[in-house]
Amino acid sequence: MLELKNIAKSFNNQAVLADIDLTIEDHKTLAIVGPSGAGKTTLLRIIAGLSPADSGEFTWQNKSTTPQQLRKDGVIGVVFQGFELFPNMTVLKNITLAPTLQGVSATDAEKRARDLLEQLDLPDQADAYPFSLSGGQKQRIAIARALALKPEILLYDEPTSALDPNLRHSVANLINAFKAQGMTQVVVTHDMEFAQEVADTTFTVKKLGGERS
Ligand SMILES: Nc1ncnc2c1ncn2[C@@H]1O[C@H](COP(=O)(O)OP(=O)(O)OP(=O)(O)O)[C@@H](O)[C@H]1O
């Protein structure tokens, strides 16, 4: 369980988040929702260790920590809104790069990448380059890339926004399938219908605070 207490963040002296208390429960899916500009992506970036909170406390499995440490330890993986695949690398290389940089052998990294491609129904795309893939395929590669580091929590920033609307349901199915395998997931989304399809708990970000429902 990852707990956030009293998280605050300002940009240019303008408070975006304040008094955020949030619990991310193991093996569940949490949706972070709220109006445009409320600070959903800011909160996700804080949880991911990509942007520091100005203040607040973080507890992981009952021990005090920081998101930066969790990211370093590989606890947290992120699927970015625009997928952010490396355009000059094959799908396989996109997935194996981070694990090999972290010391995993090339053979083991490739085996895991091929297993993930199989699981995500993309076995024939290992040698393709991102430009040749559809939006839905790019997203599954971005998910495979995050999963290659074996995170315990997977964060998604607006997973449906860059996709054809009819793919929304297949993304929800994928997130629900990962949950059935025990993954802990956090989904930032505008899309309330999508949130309902995947979330065990919803956290609404409002300006200057948040509320659980
Ligand atoms: N790096 C930054 N520098 C300055 N202001 C920022 C920065 N990042 C976010 N903000 C501001 O913080 C506020 C919250 O932005 P954020 O992107 O977190 O909202 P959001 O709820 O994810 O919005 P949307 O649903 O439109 O993506 C906005 O007013 C935004 O302009």
Q: By mean pLDDT, which of 28-37, 65-74, 158-167, 175-184 is the weakest?
A: 158-167
Distance from residue 194's CA to the centre of ligand 1 (Å): 21
The number of beta carbons lying within 10 Å of the beta carbon of residue 157 is: 20
Mean pLDDT of 86-115: 95
- Ligand 1 atom with the smallest distance to the CA of 34 is 21
Q: Does domain 26-50+71-212 have CATH number 3.60.20.10?
A: no
Indicate whether 126 pLDDT > 60. yes
Closest CA to ligand 1's atom 30: 37
CA angle, 139 then 143 then 147, to 5°: 170
Residue 100 burial (CB < 10 Å; 0-12/13-18/19+)? middle
Average pLDDT for the chain? 92
User: How high is the pLDDT of residue 207?
Assistant: 67
User: How high is the pLDDT of residue 209?
Assistant: 42
- Which residues have C-beta atoms less than 6 Å from ligand 1? 11, 16, 34, 36-42, 190
- Ligand 1 atom with the smallest distance to the CA of 51 is 1
Distance from residue 125's CA to the centre of ligand 1 (Å): 35
Residue 149 burial (CB < 10 Å; 0-12/13-18/19+)? middle
Mean pLDDT of 14-28: 95
Q: What is the pTM of this model?
A: 0.90
Q: By mean pLDDT, which of 71-80, 82-91, 201-210 is the weakest?
A: 201-210
The number of beta carbons lying within 10 Å of the beta carbon of residue 5 is: 14
Token output for 2: 């990852």
- Domain boundaries defined on the chain: 26-50+71-212
Distance from residue 41's CA to the centre of ligand 1 (Å): 7
Closest CA to ligand 1's atom 7: 11
Closest CA to ligand 1's atom 25: 36
Please tell me whether the interface predicted TM-score (ipTM) of this complex is above 0.85. Answer: yes
